[in-house]
Amino acid sequence: MSSSVRQLLLPHELVFEILSWLPVSSLLRFKCVSKRWSSTIQDPAFVDVHMKRAIGSWVFRTTSDDPYESSAEQIYISRCRGLILEKRKGAQKFRLRNPSTREILHVPAPDENVLCCMRLCYITCTNEFKLVYPYTNGADENGGFKILTIGPNATWRMIEFPFLS
């Protein structure tokens, strides 16, 4: 193991293990180390392991950036896998925020007037985040759900709710 000609100090599975214990700020910086490190850090399997390990430190991590204490004009709505769904006060403007990486993603506005009944969820098998809210057509009480999958060209689609009709 200590031959002087060896290339890397650690095989990549140990790099994975060590990275999985680092705080997010270090990981964002270490994305610069190499393409391999960068792709590991962004890999959903890695994110999963990292999140499980970070749960213990979540409370400390967020004291300076509390998920429930959004900036003054934002209302906290829902939270899933480290992402926070927020709504702008007095407007139908929703956004996702990742407090660990400080990234913000604006969500296409829903067609209906959604108060705070929108939820964020994660689909493990497809590795997708989805937003969902129930709606009704005021007059005949038909309704269903509107769903949006987070990703490029995200749009709201409708799922009918047959037993209401």
- Give the pair of three-digit tokens for residue 45: 């399997």
| Positions that interact with other proteins (CB under 8 A) | 1-2, 6-11, 14-15, 17-18, 21-26, 28-35, 37-38, 101-102
Query: Closest approach of Cβ 127 to other proteins, in Å?
Result: 22
Query: Closest approach of Cβ 96 to other proteins, in Å?
Result: 17
Query: Closest approach of Cβ 77 to other proteins, in Å?
Result: 25
Q: Using CB atoms within 10 A of its CB, is residue 13 exposed (0-12), middle (13-18) or buried (19+)?
A: exposed
Return the C-alpha torsion angle 30, 31, 34, 39, nearest 10. Answer: 130
For other proteins, the closer of residues 105 and 158 by Cβ is: 105
Query: Closest approach of Cβ 48 to other proteins, in Å?
Result: 18
For other proteins, the closer of residues 9 and 91 by Cβ is: 9
Can you tell me the distance from the alpha carbon of 130 to that of 155, in angstroms, rounded to the nearest whole number? 11
For other proteins, the closer of residues 47 and 121 by Cβ is: 47
118-135: buried (b, 16+ CB within 10 Å) or exposed (e) per residue? bebeeeeeeeebbbbbbb
For other proteins, the closer of residues 34 and 127 by Cβ is: 34
